[in-house]
Amino acid sequence: MSDVRYWMLVKRNLHLTSSKMFRNSKIGSFVSKASQTFFGKKMIIAKTSKDLDRMREVGELIAEVRETLRKMVVPGITTLELNETAEKMMHEAGAVPTFMGYKPSGMTPFPFAICASVNEQIVHGFSNSTPLKEGDIISLDMAATYNGFVGDTATTVAVGKVSDELEQLIRVTEECLKLGIEQCYPNKRVGDISWAVQQHADKYGYGIVRDYTGHGIGRTMHEAPQIANYGRAGTKEKIRAGYCFAIEPMLNLGTRETKTLADKWTVITADGKPSAHCEHTVAVTAEGPEILTLTKEQKTRLKNEKTESVTA
Per CB under 5 A, residues contacting Mg ion are: 1, 152, 246
Q: Cβ closer to Mg ion: 215 or 256?
A: 215
Q: Cβ closer to Mg ion: 57 or 152?
A: 152
- Nearest residue by C-beta to Mg ion? 246
Containing H/E element for 158?
strand 149-158
SS3 state at 214: strand
Q: Cβ closer to Mg ion: 32 or 213?
A: 213
Q: Cβ closer to Mg ion: 32 or 54?
A: 54
Candidates 3, 66, 93, 50; CA nearest to 283 is 50
CB 35 within 8 A of CB 157: no
Conformational region of residue 133, where left means phi above 0, alpha means psi within -120 to 50, and beta covers everything else = beta
The CB-of-110 to Mg ion minimum distance in angstroms stands at: 13
Q: Cβ closer to Mg ion: 162 or 214?
A: 214
Beta-bridge partner residues of 259: 268
d(CA 134, CA 68): 19
Q: Cβ closer to Mg ion: 162 or 209?
A: 209
Q: DSSP secondary-structure letter at 66?
A: H
The CB-of-184 to Mg ion minimum distance in angstroms stands at: 15
Candidates 134, 155, 151; CA nearest to 82 is 155
The CB-of-18 to Mg ion minimum distance in angstroms stands at: 27
The CB-of-153 to Mg ion minimum distance in angstroms stands at: 8
Instruction: Specify the amino acid at residue 210.
Output: R
Beta-bridge partner residues of 25: none
The CB-of-309 to Mg ion minimum distance in angstroms stands at: 30
The CB-of-63 to Mg ion minimum distance in angstroms stands at: 14
User: Helices 26-38 & 6-14, crossing angle to 10 degrees?
Assistant: 110
For the chain, state the CA radius of gyration: 19
